[in-house]
Amino acid sequence: MERKLVMIRHAKSSWANPLQSDFERPLNDRGEKDAPMMGERLKKQNIIPDVIIASTAKRAKQTAKKIAKAIGYNEDKIVWQEKLYHCIPPVFEEVMYEVADDVKTVFIVAHNPGITEFVNQLSDKFCIDNMPTCGVVGASFDAEQWNEFARTEKTVFLFDAPKNNI
Protein backbone atom coordinates (compact mmCIF):
# COMPACT_ATOMS: atom_id res chain seq x y z
CA MET A 1 0.00 0.00 0.00
CA GLU A 2 1.32 3.45 -0.84
CA ARG A 3 1.51 5.68 2.19
CA LYS A 4 2.23 9.39 2.45
CA LEU A 5 3.84 11.29 5.28
CA VAL A 6 3.61 15.09 5.18
CA MET A 7 5.84 16.93 7.63
CA ILE A 8 4.84 20.52 8.40
CA ARG A 9 6.79 23.00 10.48
CA HIS A 10 4.59 25.35 12.49
CA ALA A 11 3.96 28.77 10.95
CA LYS A 12 5.81 31.93 11.98
CA SER A 13 5.39 32.68 15.68
CA SER A 14 5.27 35.91 17.61
CA TRP A 15 8.09 37.15 19.80
CA ALA A 16 6.10 40.21 20.90
CA ASN A 17 6.06 39.18 24.56
CA PRO A 18 9.63 38.42 25.70
CA LEU A 19 8.34 37.06 29.02
CA GLN A 20 6.12 34.46 27.36
CA SER A 21 7.25 30.85 27.54
CA ASP A 22 8.39 29.26 24.29
CA PHE A 23 5.61 26.65 24.57
CA GLU A 24 2.93 29.36 24.79
CA ARG A 25 4.14 31.53 21.87
CA PRO A 26 1.28 32.14 19.40
CA LEU A 27 1.44 32.71 15.65
CA ASN A 28 2.24 36.21 14.43
CA ASP A 29 0.32 37.95 11.62
CA ARG A 30 2.37 36.27 8.89
CA GLY A 31 1.86 32.86 10.49
CA GLU A 32 -1.88 33.48 10.72
CA LYS A 33 -1.93 34.00 6.91
CA ASP A 34 0.63 31.36 5.91
CA ALA A 35 -0.97 28.35 7.60
CA PRO A 36 -4.32 28.49 5.77
CA MET A 37 -2.52 29.35 2.52
CA MET A 38 -0.37 26.22 2.81
CA GLY A 39 -3.49 24.20 3.62
CA GLU A 40 -5.07 25.51 0.41
CA ARG A 41 -1.97 24.55 -1.58
CA LEU A 42 -2.08 21.01 -0.19
CA LYS A 43 -5.80 20.78 -1.00
CA LYS A 44 -5.23 21.96 -4.58
CA GLN A 45 -2.68 19.16 -4.99
CA ASN A 46 -5.20 16.71 -3.52
CA ILE A 47 -2.93 15.93 -0.57
CA ILE A 48 -5.51 15.32 2.12
CA PRO A 49 -4.71 13.64 5.45
CA ASP A 50 -6.49 10.72 6.99
CA VAL A 51 -5.05 11.96 10.27
CA ILE A 52 -3.25 15.09 11.48
CA ILE A 53 -0.90 14.69 14.45
CA ALA A 54 0.50 17.85 16.04
CA SER A 55 2.62 19.17 18.86
CA THR A 56 0.69 20.67 21.76
CA ALA A 57 2.70 23.91 21.70
CA LYS A 58 0.40 26.86 20.98
CA ARG A 59 1.91 27.83 17.60
CA ALA A 60 1.81 24.21 16.37
CA LYS A 61 -1.81 23.81 17.54
CA GLN A 62 -2.82 27.01 15.76
CA THR A 63 -1.01 25.91 12.58
CA ALA A 64 -2.61 22.46 12.62
CA LYS A 65 -6.10 23.91 13.14
CA LYS A 66 -5.71 26.46 10.32
CA ILE A 67 -4.41 23.84 7.90
CA ALA A 68 -7.19 21.44 8.92
CA LYS A 69 -9.84 24.08 8.28
CA ALA A 70 -8.35 24.98 4.87
CA ILE A 71 -8.39 21.36 3.68
CA GLY A 72 -11.75 20.46 5.19
CA TYR A 73 -10.40 18.20 7.95
CA ASN A 74 -12.38 18.12 11.20
CA GLU A 75 -10.10 19.84 13.71
CA ASP A 76 -11.69 17.84 16.54
CA LYS A 77 -9.96 14.79 15.04
CA ILE A 78 -6.45 16.25 15.30
CA VAL A 79 -4.29 14.01 17.49
CA TRP A 80 -2.29 16.09 19.98
CA GLN A 81 1.13 14.72 20.97
CA GLU A 82 3.11 16.60 23.62
CA LYS A 83 6.21 14.54 22.77
CA LEU A 84 6.42 16.31 19.36
CA TYR A 85 7.43 19.57 21.08
CA HIS A 86 11.09 20.07 20.11
CA CYS A 87 11.60 16.35 19.64
CA ILE A 88 14.48 14.48 18.03
CA PRO A 89 13.96 12.53 14.76
CA PRO A 90 13.32 9.09 16.32
CA VAL A 91 10.25 10.49 18.09
CA PHE A 92 8.59 11.15 14.70
CA GLU A 93 8.97 7.46 13.87
CA GLU A 94 7.62 6.49 17.29
CA VAL A 95 4.53 8.65 16.63
CA MET A 96 4.06 7.09 13.18
CA TYR A 97 4.24 3.58 14.59
CA GLU A 98 1.15 4.37 16.67
CA VAL A 99 -0.89 5.18 13.52
CA ALA A 100 -3.56 2.67 12.50
CA ASP A 101 -2.60 0.59 9.47
CA ASP A 102 -5.72 1.57 7.50
CA VAL A 103 -4.47 5.20 7.45
CA LYS A 104 -2.80 6.12 4.15
CA THR A 105 -1.84 9.79 4.63
CA VAL A 106 -0.51 11.41 7.81
CA PHE A 107 0.32 15.07 8.43
CA ILE A 108 2.66 15.81 11.35
CA VAL A 109 2.97 19.42 12.58
CA ALA A 110 6.08 20.02 14.67
CA HIS A 111 9.21 22.10 15.30
CA ASN A 112 12.80 22.73 14.34
CA PRO A 113 15.53 21.60 14.63
CA GLY A 114 14.12 18.06 14.79
CA ILE A 115 11.88 18.40 11.75
CA THR A 116 14.77 19.54 9.52
CA GLU A 117 16.93 16.67 10.75
CA PHE A 118 14.10 14.19 10.17
CA VAL A 119 13.19 15.28 6.61
CA ASN A 120 16.88 15.16 5.66
CA GLN A 121 16.89 11.47 6.58
CA LEU A 122 13.98 10.64 4.27
CA SER A 123 15.97 10.27 1.05
CA ASP A 124 19.53 10.54 -0.23
CA LYS A 125 18.10 12.73 -3.00
CA PHE A 126 16.67 15.39 -0.67
CA CYS A 127 18.48 17.80 1.62
CA ILE A 128 17.61 21.24 3.00
CA ASP A 129 19.57 23.51 5.32
CA ASN A 130 16.53 24.60 7.28
CA MET A 131 12.84 23.76 7.15
CA PRO A 132 11.16 27.15 6.77
CA THR A 133 8.25 28.13 9.00
CA CYS A 134 5.08 26.54 7.62
CA GLY A 135 7.29 24.58 5.22
CA VAL A 136 5.96 21.25 3.99
CA VAL A 137 7.85 18.10 2.98
CA GLY A 138 5.95 15.10 1.67
CA ALA A 139 7.36 11.59 1.30
CA SER A 140 5.73 8.47 -0.07
CA PHE A 141 6.63 4.84 0.51
CA ASP A 142 5.18 1.37 0.06
CA ALA A 143 4.45 -0.59 3.22
CA GLU A 144 1.70 -2.69 4.71
CA GLN A 145 2.16 -1.09 8.14
CA TRP A 146 3.40 2.24 9.44
CA ASN A 147 5.97 0.45 11.60
CA GLU A 148 7.80 -0.53 8.39
CA PHE A 149 8.67 3.13 7.73
CA ALA A 150 12.34 2.95 8.77
CA ARG A 151 12.98 -0.07 6.54
CA THR A 152 11.38 1.27 3.37
CA GLU A 153 12.72 3.41 0.56
CA LYS A 154 11.04 6.79 0.60
CA THR A 155 10.51 9.25 -2.23
CA VAL A 156 10.24 12.94 -1.42
CA PHE A 157 7.45 14.16 -3.69
CA LEU A 158 6.86 17.60 -2.22
CA PHE A 159 8.80 20.51 -0.80
CA ASP A 160 6.93 23.77 -0.46
CA ALA A 161 7.01 26.86 1.72
CA PRO A 162 4.98 30.07 1.94
CA LYS A 163 7.62 32.13 0.15
CA ASN A 164 7.67 29.78 -2.88
CA ASN A 165 5.82 31.25 -5.84
CA ILE A 166 3.26 28.73 -6.95
State the average pLDDT for the chain: 96
Q: Say what angle helices 29-44 and 58-71 make with each other, to 10 degrees.
A: 40
| Terminal Cα distance for the chain, rounded | 30
Answer whether residue 29 shows pLDDT above 60. yes
Q: Domain limits of the chain?
A: 2-13+22-160
Give me the sheet containing 105-110, strands edge to edge.
79-80, 51-54, 105-110, 2-9, 136-142, 155-160
Stretch 111-140: mean pLDDT = 97
The residue that leads in pLDDT, 165 or 23, is: 23
Predicted local confidence at residue 18, as pLDDT: 85
Q: Where are the beta strands (DSSP E) in the chain?
A: 2-9, 51-54, 79-80, 105-110, 136-142, 155-160
Predicted local confidence at residue 166, as pLDDT: 56
- What values do phi and psi take at 27, rounded to 5? -70, 150
pLDDT digits (tens, 9 = 90+) for 51-85: 999 999 999 999 999 999 999 999 999 999 999 99
pLDDT digits (tens, 9 = 90+) for 142-166: 999 999 999 999 999 999 999 986 5
Whole-angstrom Cα distance, residue 99 to residue 102? 9
pLDDT digits (tens, 9 = 90+) for 99-112: 999 999 999 999 99
Peptide linkage before 90 cis (omega within 30 of 0): no
Q: Which residues contact 19 (CB under 8 A, 6 or more apart)?
A: none
Whole-angstrom Cα distance, residue 124 to residue 41? 26
Predicted local confidence at residue 53, as pLDDT: 98
Which one is the CATH code of 2-13+22-160: 3.40.50.1240, 3.40.50.300, 3.30.110.70, 1.20.1730.10? 3.40.50.1240
